[in-house]
Amino acid sequence: MNTTKPEAPMLETRDLSRAFGHGDHMVRAVDRVSFSMQTGEIVAVVGESGSGKSTLARLLLRLLDPTGGQILLHGQDVTTLHHRGELKTYWQKVQGAFQDSFAAFNQFYTVRRSLEKALNVLDVSLSKSDRTQRIETSLREVGLDPADILDKWPHQLSGGQLQRVMIARALVVGPELLIADEPTSMLDASLRVTVLNLLLDLRKSHNMSILFITHDLGQANYLSDRILVMYRGELVEQGPVEQVLADPQHEYTQRLLADVPRLRGKSGVPA
Amino acid sequence: MIVKNVKAYYVSGSGPDVKAVDNVSLSILEGEIFGIVGESGCGKSTLASVMSLTAGRTLKVKDGEIILNGQSLPLTDRSRVPKEWHGTMVALLPQRAMNSLNPTARVRDLVIDVMHAHHPEIRPADAVERARERLEQLGLPVRVLESYPHQLSGGMRQRVIAVISTLLNPHVLIADEPTSALDVSSQRQLIVLLQQLLEHQFISRIVYITHDLPMLSNFADRIAVMYAGKIAEIGPTVEIVGRPKHPYTQALIGSTLDLDPRLRGSQVKGIPGAPPDLRYPPGGCRFHPRCPHVMNICSIEEPPAIGTEERFAACWWVKDQVDKLSVEGAAS
Amino acid sequence: MTAIPQEQTGGQMFMAGLKRTRNTMSLLNPRFMFGLVLLGFLLFFGIFGPFIFNKTDPMKFVGMLYDPPSATAWLGTDNFGRDVFTQLMFGIRTSLMIGIIAGTVATLIGVLIGTVAGYTGGMVEEVLMALTNIVITIPSIVILILLSIAFKTRSLLVMGIIIGVTTWPWTARAVRAQTSSLRTREHVDVARLSGTPTLGLIFWEIIPYMLSYIVMAFVLQLNSGILQEAALSMLGLGIDKGISLGIMLQWALLWESVRTGAWWAFIPPTLLLTLIAFSLLLLQSSIDEIFNPRLRRS
């Protein structure tokens, strides 16, 4: 169990910033972003390409160092962690899933090898059978049959299957927070829903927090409790999903909402 | 425009052919935007390349014919496609056209090249003048003619290409996922532009191919739903979206997520399984392994098209429903 | 052997790589096949030739100065009356050995410097690339001559290493460029999230993705190694024991074979050098075509 200070949110950023380049060519990819999220919450970060949402994901995963501001996990500043050993303890609690599942797996490894590598982030070295058991449990949780999939190579799996394996990869270490960077944008609509449902199930069963990064307001609407809207590196609006979508305050959010195509002529809502 | 019995297979050196488009027939009316929707690998882009006469060498068109503006063109032999069909009869607006522009040429140079290819006698100044006129009519800034591609946004580049590729007033514009790399605002602007092209009668009809049903439902007159190389269902947009008949269309609409607040907290169902490998398509109806209403006959015999040419669904279950209704109707 | 869960070994990884290669090879590229057959033939000639023809001593005197081709000396004799045909077989061996050593040394140094520079970036990259560019700008033949003179004995191994340490910069530059683009791939990020150390990332996540590229660079280095050896030997800076194609040319030049019309002393070694280079370049360009689908067809 964690020694959580009751007042500290699970994750918090304070003026988190990342700039690339210098002088006139400086681009503020993430500009003074402050937000917080609680355990078990699903928060969607919405923005167009170039809005800085993927840079935010890389900052929160500590794959990229911020040029300003702080990230706090349970009230503790993690931007000061640099050594691989320190970061490993962070990555035990915060894991990621990415957009392009074909690119996210080493094509020279089988699923088994990729998932075993993921366990390296744990401090304890598990026995062979413990490792296998963890991996198989995670695969079952994402709805895959371990026997069917463990010895496959990435190119033998479909995009939907790989996306599930990627989520299983994060699950094997039992993280508190999953940062999912457009995990469904390369999937077809019918598969997309099944991956989103999987994320909803994980929140229910593990009380896992999910930061869901997307350009698709429809998915944010279906999945998340709260929405953060990013525009040119800045967080321009945040709030509960029903409030942001029904009554957008920022001009950019209003424009975005007006341009999102809605399915016309649909009768009723699916059960 | 009529497209008849198109069969297009990808031939691989070893192993069976990929039956990407299998016996597809369509008729597209003058003045309409005809949408083709389907998920990745359903053959919609292959169909686009066949219809726009731009199929690559690995694609073998086994059968098929286009009838356009009273002229008939067999599709099986690409060497017999007359040169003037490209650009004046059929034009293509491809997915990432905006990234395929020569970075060292200004837009005006592109205009001159395109016009010159079809009218060798045209003077460069006249070609540019024609493009300028066209841009003005469509409410686009004429200064883009003097710009290099990198000076224009992705959305503007795609709109400029749409204008240039229709300079010769083709009878049909095939748009193959032209907005999938654009943000929603640029998407909408491109679609408005395509509608203008139709209104001004610069083009006679548009075939719009996409995976995005909500977007398509906002501007298409009729929609064909493709699955695994075949047409599953066809009909006017309101019919397809409001009263879908084919189980695949129903599932596709069911799994659509838009901004409807009622979706929140509801359990939307996806479609179980994955689309088939088109080297080994399943027998009978190609959707039967994933279909919630599957019956015995579905895996044995190909489903008939139930309905009219303008409004049908190719499905045994739909036939069953219709038969039951007519029996009940006769009994009462 | 029953149901023991198997560790994924490097061997299996290699097999998977091979499987991929075999699939792409089924497109069979006639250029690749021609290069392979030609090189195989030259290798066979060098390795088994001496036993097949029972000519196992390249230094044996079989005739007088520049005897023309005859039944005993099929390609005539050199300036010392030694059999040119026998010397060719042993010359190929030496040239290829030196080429392989030089290629291996150059590839190892180049890959090491290139990956470290490309992956770490920043100051380390600047320094390593500055060093690389300095080595490139100094004409390599000058370093080669100085190094060759500095060494008292010049064995095959020493020659190979000398050549290798002057030619690695090209590999380093190419590998650095590849590495900097590969390190931004998502699978590298994913491996970092698993706590993989930097060297592990380079070795397991980056190098496998450019193996074909490294093989190509190696073949090029092998080729240039053979040619550099010939150039050094013609200047009299070749290996001090044994025979190589370059040394044959050196003697032929010194002893006026061109002016005396003893074509058999200089044409065969030149022809063999050309054939080796030709076959290696064929292989190299078709490896590119096999692995790079954009070049494959139109």
pLDDT tens, residue order, chain B (332 aa): 999 899 999 887 667 888 899 999 999 999 999 999 998 889 999 999 999 988 877 888 889 999 998 888 888 877 778 888 888 899 999 887 777 788 888 999 999 988 888 888 889 999 999 999 999 999 999 999 999 988 998 889 999 999 999 999 999 999 999 988 788 889 999 999 999 999 999 999 999 999 999 999 999 999 999 999 999 999 999 999 999 999 999 999 988 888 888 888 888 888 888 888 888 899 999 999 999 999 999 999 999 999 998 899 999 999 999 998 888 877 76
Maximal C-alpha separation, chain B: 74
- Which tens digit of pLDDT belongs to each residue from A240-252? 999 999 999 999 9
> Which residues of A are less than 8 Å from C204 in CB distance?
106
How does B84-95 read in b/e, with b if 16+ C-beta sit within 10 Å? ebbbbbbbbbbb
Contact between C172 and C113 (Cβ < 8 Å): yes
Contact between A235 and A213 (Cβ < 8 Å): no
> Which residues of A are less than 8 Å from B211 in CB distance?
188-189
Q: Tell me what pLDDT residue A51 has.
A: 92
Give the residue with greater pLDDT, A172 vs C150.
Answer: A172
Contact between B101 and B149 (Cβ < 8 Å): yes
- pTM score, whole prediction: 0.83
Number of domains making up chain A: 1
Task: Tell me whether residues B57 and C297 touch, CB distance under 8 A.
Answer: yes
Q: Tell me what pLDDT residue C4 has.
A: 35
Q: Tell me what pLDDT residue C13 has.
A: 41
Closest chain C residue to B13 measured between Cα atoms? C27
Distance from CA of B313 to the nearest CA of A (A): 18
Distance from CA of A15 to the nearest CA of B (A): 27
Assess C25–B contact: CB distance below 8 Å, yes or no. no
> Which residues of C are less than 8 Å from B14 in CB distance?
26
CA distance A231 to A33: 11
Closest chain A residue to C211 measured between Cα atoms? A108
Q: Which CATH topology does C28-43+86-296 take?
A: MetI-like fold (1.10.3720)
Domain-located, residue A76? yes
Task: Tell me whether residues A263 and B185 touch, CB distance under 8 A.
Answer: no
Q: Tell me what pLDDT residue C98 has.
A: 92
Domain-located, residue A112? no
CA distance A195 to A201: 10
Tokens of A19: 């700039």
Distance from CA of C32 to the nearest CA of B (A): 18
Q: Tell me what pLDDT residue A266 has.
A: 58
The whole-chain average pLDDT of chain A stands at 90
Q: Tell me what pLDDT residue B75 has.
A: 87
Q: Which of C26, C27, C298 sits opposite B57 (nearest CB)?
A: C298
Beta bridge partners of A36: A12
Q: How many CB pairs under 8 A join A and C?
A: 66
Assess C8–A contact: CB distance below 8 Å, yes or no. yes
Domain-located, residue A3? no
Whole-Å CA distances, B57 to A186, A190, B50, B191, C292: 27, 32, 11, 31, 18
Residues in A whose CB is inside 8 Å of some CB of C read 58, 61, 63, 84, 87-88, 91, 95-96, 98-100, 103-110, 112-113, 116-121, 128, 132, 153, 166, 169
- pLDDT tens, position by position, for chain C (298 residues)? 333 333 333 344 444 444 444 444 445 677 888 888 999 998 888 888 888 887 777 777 777 777 777 777 777 787 777 888 888 888 888 899 999 999 999 999 999 999 999 998 889 999 999 999 998 888 777 877 887 788 878 888 888 888 898 889 989 999 999 999 998 889 999 999 999 999 999 999 999 888 888 988 999 999 999 998 888 888 888 887 888 888 888 888 888 778 887 788 788 889 998 999 889 888 888 776 666 544 544 3
Assess C26–B contact: CB distance below 8 Å, yes or no. yes
How does A101-111 read in b/e, with b if 16+ C-beta sit within 10 Å? bebbbbebbbb
CA distance B49 to B56: 8
Contact between B203 and B170 (Cβ < 8 Å): yes
Task: Tell me whether residues B57 and C27 touch, CB distance under 8 A.
Answer: no
Task: Tell me whether residues C298 and B14 touch, CB distance under 8 A.
Answer: no
- Which tens digit of pLDDT belongs to each residue from B91-138? 999 887 777 788 888 999 999 988 888 888 889 999 999 999 999 999
Distance from CA of C120 to the nearest CA of A (A): 13
> Which residues of C are less than 8 Å from B13 in CB distance?
26-27
Angle at the Cα of A14 (from A12 to A15), degrees rounded to 5?
145
Q: Tell me what pLDDT residue A226 has.
A: 97
Q: Which of A190, A215, A261 sits opposite B270 (nearest CB)?
A: A190
* Secondary structure E strands in chain B: 2-10, 18-27, 33-37, 59-68, 71-74, 90-93, 172-176, 205-210, 222-227, 230-236, 305-307, 312-314
- Which tens digit of pLDDT belongs to each residue from A108-150? 899 999 999 999 999 878 888 999 999 999 999 998 999 999 9
Whole-Å CA distances, B134 to A80, B168, C141: 58, 11, 63
Give residue limits of the domains in chain C: 28-43+86-296
How does C109-135 read in b/e, with b if 16+ C-beta sit within 10 Å? bbbbbbbbbbbeeeeebeebbeebeeb
Assess C185–A contact: CB distance below 8 Å, yes or no. yes
Sorted by sequence, the CB contacts under 8 Å of residue B50 that are 6+ apart come out as B6, B8, B21, B59, B61, B64, B75
Domain interval for residue A250: 11-102+171-258
Q: Tell me what pLDDT residue C18 has.
A: 41
Q: State the CATH number of the domain containing residue A90.
A: 3.40.50.300
Domain-located, residue A40? yes
Domain-located, residue A156? no
Q: Tell me what pLDDT residue C22 has.
A: 44
Report ipTM (2 d.p.): 0.89
Residues 86-115 of C with CB under 8 A from B: none
Beta bridge partners of B242: none
Q: Tell me what pLDDT residue A6 has.
A: 59
Domain-located, residue A247? yes
